[in-house]
Structure 1
């Protein structure tokens, strides 16, 4: 979907960050991954975009699409 409005939960030196795709700074920083992931999903839902959750190694662990999903398959 990548419209520049996608949001990411990623590790941060002070915990976990929520970051909009292409931004140089974190939108917010949280103590727990769960708090950051909830914020990421909320922002992605409002922006009708995608939410990505990275693990400590930087790999995508989970992904949610909100709004127009271009995939033709159910799921």
Structure 2
């Protein structure tokens, strides 16, 4: 089994956290959202997984895929 997990940026009592999907503990915690998104993107890129950014209310705001997209955009 692979330990590659999609990375989620979520609201945290101390600001914003980067968490692997299904993880109980945060990988990293930041006081503001922007560096949390940057760190999550860095991890997702290195693992070839997806970055999922949530708003304060928990709803997904954006997704940023860094894996092999089975349906890449045509252009």
Output one character per residue of 1:28-50: Cα deviation in whole Å (capped at 9) or x when no partner.
10011001000000000000000
Aligned to 2:19: 19
Aligned to 2:36: 36
Q: Using the TM superposition, give the Cα deviation of residue 59 of structure 1 relative to its aligned residue in structure 2, in angstroms.
A: 0.7
For residue 58 of structure 2, give the secondary structure of its aligned residue in structure 1: coil
| TM-score, normalised by the number of residues in structure 2 | 0.88
* 1:56 matches 2:56: yes
Gaps of 5+ in 2: none
Distance 2:72 2:39 in 1: 28
Gaps of 5+ in 1: none
- The aligned length equals 73
Aligned to 1:65: 65
What is the root-mean-square deviation in Å for CA atoms of aligned residues? Answer: 1.7
